[in-house]
Amino acid sequence: MDTDSYMHSLFEANPLRESTLCAVIETLQLPSGSRGLDAGCGIGLQCLLLAEALGLNGHVTGFDVSTEFLHRGEEIVKEAGLSERISFQGGDVANIPFGNNTFDWAWSADCIGYGPWEPLPLLKELARVVKPGGIVAISGWSSENVLPGYPRLEARLRATSGGIAPFVHGKKPETHFLRALSWFREIGLKEPAAKVFADSFYAPLSPGIRNALVSLFDMRWPDVEFELSSDDQTEFQRLCQPDSPDFILNLSDYYAFFTHTLFWGKVAK
């Protein structure tokens, strides 16, 4: 999937996450009027939620390595009328270009603990730019069940390269996202905590949620047919392609659920 298509899919799939992420952010109780960093901000969708949680006097800096993502983020923020409360800067989360103790808090979703990078150096860098007593939080999409009645096919899809992403086959168990509590303790963050959040969707689906689920299927299982048996390929095409008469979203009893996991702690005073 090219960058433009991926950005479009991120935007289209956002309704599946928005209410859950609002609950995630609310749990952190970020101080009103504070200034924070969204590291690995993508196209800025979570910057909007973070800014709303801070009130009129707060500020969020969105930070990402992708220039294309940042340009799209600036457009989205401008359309939302929040350009004065959200700014963007490019760079690598492994080398954040801000001084020590710059922000009141730092947040990173679907970034640290995802992909092939070692998480500890990234988390240390995030903690470095947060003031003593400030919050460091990482969040991630942690599971989904979207093919009700077909657990075998869904299990096989989860085991493909796309389905297992962003955890990456061959990673050490201790670097898996769901092992993050140990990372927080190892770098000295205080009061490490974890919480899971869930949301569900069921028929009849609104057009927005239906489009979001179609985009999710595209992002989770790209080119997946090459890793499936011929029987599973046939079943995948029948159930997961929008032009199929048996497309699973057409079920009158369709149901899906998703979970996000939040880890957070405080920088030592």
Q: What pLDDT is stored for residue 84 in this prediction? A: 95
Q: What is the pLDDT of residues 217-244, one digit of tens each?
A: 988 888 888 899 999 999 999 999 999 9
Q: What pLDDT is stored for residue 139 in this prediction? A: 95
Q: What is the pTM of this model?
A: 0.94
Region 137-166: what's the mean pLDDT?
A: 89
45-54 and 18-28 helices cross at what angle (nearest 10)? 40
Region 204-214: what's the mean pLDDT?
A: 96
Q: Are 246 and 125 in contact (CB under 8 A)?
A: no
- ∠ CA 218-220-221, nearest 5°, is 70
**How far from the centroid of its chain's Cα atoms is residue 224's Cα?**
21
Integer Cα distance of 12 and 1 in angstroms: 15
> Domain extents for the chain?
3-144+170-200+255-266
Higher pLDDT, 27 or 171: 27
Ramachandran assignment for 147, one of left (phi > 0), alpha (psi -120 to 50 degrees), beta (any other):
beta
3-13 and 207-220 helices cross at what angle (nearest 10)? 140
pLDDT at residue 166 above 70? Answer: no
Q: What pLDDT is stored for residue 168 in this prediction? A: 66
Higher pLDDT, 182 or 3: 182
Q: What pLDDT is stored for residue 210 in this prediction? A: 96
61 contacts: CB under 8 Å, gap ≥ 6: 35, 36, 37, 38, 86, 87, 88, 89, 103
Region 182-198: what's the mean pLDDT?
A: 97
Q: Which residues pair with 266 in a beta bridge?
A: 135, 190
Q: Which CATH number fits domain 3-144+170-200+255-266: 3.40.50.150, 2.130.10.30, 3.30.310.50, 3.40.50.300?
A: 3.40.50.150
